[in-house]
Each structure stands twice: as C-alpha cells, then as structure tokens.
A = this chain, B = another copy of it.
Amino acid sequence: MRQEEAEAVRADLGPSTRAAQWDRTTNGSVKLLLSETQQQQLAARSTRLSLPARTIVYREDAALDWIYISSEGVLKAFRELPSGKRRIAAFLFPGDVFGLAENGRYLNTVQAVTHVTLYRIPNEALTEMLRSDPDLQFQFLCKVTHELRQGQRHSIVLARKDAAGRLAMFLSMLENNVVAGTRSGWIQLPMSRTDLGEYLGLSLESVSRATAALARSGLVTFQGGHAAKVLDRERFEKLVNAL
C-alpha cells in the first residue's frame, strides 16, 4: 500500500520525476532521492555536522539561515508556550528534512535527542537550486506534503481521549520508522517520558501509567524504559485502530 502510493506519485508526475525520484526510506518517511548531479551540487554546498545529544540545532524565532537533512539519530522539534510548557510538534528521523517549513524565522526549536549527524545547507544555496531545478523542488514539495500528512496523523493521535491508545499509536508510528538493522521486533524509544508526554499531550505520569497499562494487559513489554516490543499483535492493532 505504501508502495502503491509511491507508484502513484511517479505516475502523476510522469517523465519529470525520472531524474529525481520519490522513494520511501526504511524508516517509513519520504526521502529525497536525487540524481547524481543534484547529489554533487548538494554535497558541494553542505556541511556535515556531528552533534551530541541535547544539542540545540536552532531556536524558534532565530533567523532562517540553513536547511538541515538528518542522517543519523533522532531529534525533536518543539515550541515553548507562554506558560513555559513545551509541545513537541514532531520527532525527526534519518532522512528527514527540517528547517524548511518556515518563512524567514524558524518556527520550532530543534534539539538532538540522541547523538546525531546532520547535513546543513545554506538557505540561499538551496533556494537557488530549487529555483533553477523544478525536479529538485518537486522533491521538496513532496517532502513538505509528507510532513503535512504526519502532522494530520499527530492531530488524530491528540484527539484521542485514552492515554494507552495514544501511546499505542505512537509506538505503531515508531515501528514504521524502524531504522534498517534494528533487532527484530524491538522498538527503540530514545526519547524521555517527558518528551513522550509533550508529544502526546499527556502528563509524564500519564505516560508512565499508560506504559504500565499496556504491559499489564500483555500487549507490549518494555525493557529499561527505552525499548518496547509488541507481544499481542492482534490486540495491539485493535487498540491502535480503536479510534
């Protein structure tokens, strides 16, 4: 079904997509697939960064200077609310593009959750490339479109009233984001319970209770708080889809 979607995109765009095609990464998100020329151009203008966990990549309201592409690790994009609370808008995984969806100023603060490696491209260089290369720009259009879809999924999660259901949906989402090479069945949870709460719109106590509830009812086991495994697939999926 995912595969079908990718096909459909190619069909929609016809010949123009041959040089720069869509594809889905192993982590389930949409990845930029570039022609050799495009890769060279991007590589020539980008800097590779290696950042430890907790590093802030940029802050909300800062001037938009660079566009980033995540290569390894996990990051979080969040906003600080007037009350001091935080709402995490999205977690960023390898292959994700960020710093793109804002005009002149970054909208969110982006911070590394784990150690990460990123590619950083000056905003002007990228927009210059987009301007002169419709195929490349189409890649980004699709990328943003995909993020829009993710955002809508997030809204659906937030509209659920049951904490366990929200958590299950989040785990399900992470499952589709498994980086190739992860051991069978175990879902890595690099982020803290607080992060989960800020993403799911729950207090961290509720997150804790939700994990306990999933474990107690035998749907999922947790290992050390940062890994999970679905035990009862059928009931798990039923919960996920019990919207």
Contact = CB atoms under 8 A, between A and B. Distances in A.
User: In the assembly, how many copies of this chain are there?
Assistant: 2
B152 A152 contact: no
Contact of A201 (B14, B79, B144, B159): B159
Given A151-B151, A158-B201, A134 B123 contact: no
A156 B107 CA distance: 13
A64 B159 contact: no
A234 interface: no
A85 B243 contact: yes
B104 A12 contact: yes
Interface of A: 4-9, 11-14, 16, 64, 79, 81-83, 85, 87, 89, 100-105, 107-108, 123-124, 127, 130-135, 137-138, 140-142, 144-145, 147-149, 151-152, 154-156, 158-159, 201, 241-243
B242 A131 contact: no
A104 B8 contact: yes
Given A12-B127, A131-B135, A132-B134, 8 more contacts: A5-B104, A14-B124, A83-B242, A101-B145, A101-B148, A108-B152, A130-B141, A155-B158
A24 to B, nearest CB: 11
B138 A130 contact: yes
A interface, over-half SS: helix
Given A79-B156, A144-B145, A151-B152, A5 B130 contact: no
A145 B9 contact: no
Nearest to A85: B243
B127 A13 contact: yes
Contacts of A108: 152
